[in-house]
Amino acid sequence: MRIQTIITLAVVGVIALIILLKGSLYVVDMREQVVVTQFGRPVRTVTEPGLCAKTPFIQSVKRFEKRTIEWDGESSDILTRDKENIEVNTWALWKIIDPLKFYTALGAEYRGQGVLDEVIASSVKNIVSSYTLKEIVRDTNRKLLYTTQELEDAEMGKSVLIEKGRGTLLKEMKEAGEQGLKDRYGIELVDVVIKHINYVSSVIPKIYDRMRSERLRIANKYESEGRRQEAEIIGTMKKELEKIESEGYKRAKEVMGEGDARAVKIYADAYKQTPEFYSFLKTLETYKSTIKDNSVLILGTKGDYFKYLQSFDGNEVIKEIK
């Protein structure tokens, strides 16, 4: 019985020692930082990784993220300085740089997210509303590329000048957001960026209508210019066609005149060589052009045609021609 009692006491002692060690020792990971509290009141902070000790059953450990934490905000509708109603969605990075102050003020990381919801949303609205839409979406005055010359001329006609730009806006948003965070909550705002910018849903149809109207105006201008050029081309074509026809008609008349002159000359030469035969051929041509196929011709004995038939000697004519 005595040995069994000793064994029992030894087991109980080991268990008690394990419980005591577990309650008095804790490990700090390199990705976290710790606040040790005693009856709910913070007594010290541990930011270096390693094995640490605390008073068991009296003291407890509150662990906080040592790495950079992501904050993703909700979209908010903001009216810019030039009265453009836009939807802005922001994103930020933050970290706990003073765990003791953070624990005293907030106690948990989700509460830090809630504080950033209010602080960043307020700074974004205040800064964005003080800028024009061009300043929000652009960072420099570099020349943009446009699909048409008309769009470029219309944009240049607005005389948009970027004085500060998006980079300055984001810097101001970060500076406005981190005011009081370090001193009051032990939070450092690492970065604030605009994740998304768009017109609000009620304005988008009007924007599309305006874009369609602008494109339609450009299309009508191109169509009008095309009709003007078409009229010029058709006019030039008709002018050239009339010139070609006139020159062709003139040339045809010249050729016909030359042909008639040569024909007259040939006729005159033929008449000089055999006047009687020429007169006979012309008479035949006259009858051919005046008498139809079904006509009946009655010749008198004293007519010229009968005279030619009666006195015609082909051999003599051929000899004269030769």
pLDDT digits (tens, 9 = 90+) for 137-181: 888 777 666 666 666 666 665 566 777 888 888 888 888 888 888
Residue 294 has pLDDT above 80, yes or no: no
Give 50's pLDDT tier (boundaries 50, 70, 90).
confident
User: In the prediction, which pLDDT does 22 show?
Assistant: 58
Give 18's pLDDT tier (boundaries 50, 70, 90).
low
Give 70's pLDDT tier (boundaries 50, 70, 90).
very high
User: In the prediction, which pLDDT does 188 show?
Assistant: 92
Higher pLDDT, 221 or 193: 193
Residue 96 has pLDDT above 90, yes or no: yes
Contact predicate 49/30, CB 8 Å: yes
User: In the prediction, which pLDDT does 138 show?
Assistant: 81
Closest CA to 190 of 102, 93, 267, 289: 93
Contact predicate 75/96, CB 8 Å: no
Please enumerate in sequence order all residues whose Cβ is within 8 A of that of 147, keeping only pairs 6 or more positions apart, or say none: none
Q: What's the mean pLDDT in 86-91? A: 91
For the ranges 39-53, 105-119, 131-145, 280-294, the maximum mean pLDDT occurs at: 105-119
**How far is it, in rounded angstroms, from Cα 185 to Cα 303?**
143
Contact predicate 196/75, CB 8 Å: yes
**How far is it, in rounded angstroms, from Cα 135 to Cα 139?**
7
**How far is it, in rounded angstroms, from Cα 190 to Cα 220?**
52
Contact predicate 67/77, CB 8 Å: no
Q: What's the mean pLDDT in 74-88? A: 88
Q: What average pLDDT does the chain have?
A: 80
Global model pTM greater than 0.75: no
Got the DSSP string for 267-306? HHHHHHH-HHHHHHHHHHHHHHHH--TT------TTSHHH
Percent of the chain surpassing pLDDT 90: 13
Please enumerate in sequence order all residues whose Cβ is within 8 A of that of 139, keeping only pairs 6 or more positions apart, or say none: 162, 165, 166, 167
Please return the burial class of 93, using the count of CB atoms within 10 Å of its CB with bins 0-12, 13-18 and 19+. middle
Sort strands 32-38 and 41-46 into parallel, antiparallel or unpaired. antiparallel
User: In the prediction, which pLDDT does 14 show?
Assistant: 59
List, for residues 228-278, the tens digit of each pLDDT value. 898 899 989 999 998 898 888 888 888 888 888 888 787 777 777 777 667
User: In the prediction, which pLDDT does 304 show?
Assistant: 62
Give 19's pLDDT tier (boundaries 50, 70, 90).
low
Q: What's the mean pLDDT in 16-43? A: 78
